[in-house]
Amino acid sequence: MPAFLYRLAIACWVGGASLFTFVLTPAIFKAYNRDMAGGIVGVLFPGYFKWGLVCGAIALATSLFSSTVKHKTIAAIIIAMMLAITSVQAFVIEPKVAALKNTIPSFETTPQDNPLRVRFKRIHAVSAVSNLVVIGGGIALIVLL
C-alpha cells in the first residue's frame, strides 16, 4: 500500500503542477484580460501550493515506509527539496506577490517600467523558476520509478 500511495502522490503532484502551469494558467490568461486572469490565478495559488505540500508530505512519508521504492535516499532528498521549494512558494513568495499585486492598480494600465511592476516581475520570475524546478524534480522521481 505505501508504494501505491507514493506513486499516486507523485503523479498527483507532478500532474497537478503541470496541468496548472502548462494548461490552466495559459487558458485563463487567453480567455480573460490581464487583470481578471491575474485575479483568478491569484485566488487559485494558495490551494495549488497546499495541494503540492499535501502530495509531497504523503510522498515523503510513504517513500520511507515502502520496500519497493527504488533509490529511497535519492527519492527522499528530491522530495524534501521539492517540499522546501513549495513551502517557500506557499509561505514566502505567494504572500509577497499577492501583497504587491494589491499595490498595482492595473497591470493593463500601469507601465511595465513602474518600480512595482519591475519588482513584481522579478518575484514572479523566481516563482516560475521554482515551479519548474519542482516539476523537474517530480519528473526525476517518475524516472526513478
Residue type, 29: F
Rounded-to-integer distance, Cα 97 and Cα 90, Å: 11
pLDDT tens, position by position, 11-40: 999 999 999 999 999 999 999 999 999 999
pLDDT score of 100: 95
* pLDDT at residue 58 is higher than 90: yes
Per cent of the chain over pLDDT 70 is 100
Are 96 and 123 in contact by the 8 Å Cβ rule? The answer is: yes
The answer on pLDDT for 9 being more than 90 is yes
pLDDT at 109 over 90: yes
Provide the angle, in degrees to the nearest 10, between the axes of the packed helices 34-65 and 94-103.
170
pLDDT in tens, 72-93: 889 999 999 999 999 999 999 9
The whole model's pTM is what? 0.93
Q: Which residues contact 12 (CB under 8 A, 6 or more apart)?
A: 51, 55
Given this model, what pLDDT does residue 24 score?
Answer: 97
Give the pLDDT of residue 69.
73
85 Ramachandran zone, left/alpha/beta (phi>0; psi -120 to 50): alpha
Q: Measuring CA to CA, which residue among 39, 131, 40, 48 is closest to residue 85?
A: 131
Scanning the chain, the segments in alpha helix (DSSP H) are: 2-19, 25-31, 34-65, 72-88, 94-103, 115-144
Dihedral (Cα; 47, 49, 50, 56), 10-degree rounding: 150
> Other C-beta atoms within 10 Å of 120: how many?
21
Ramachandran sector of residue 32 (left: φ over 0; alpha: ψ -120 to 50; beta: rest): beta
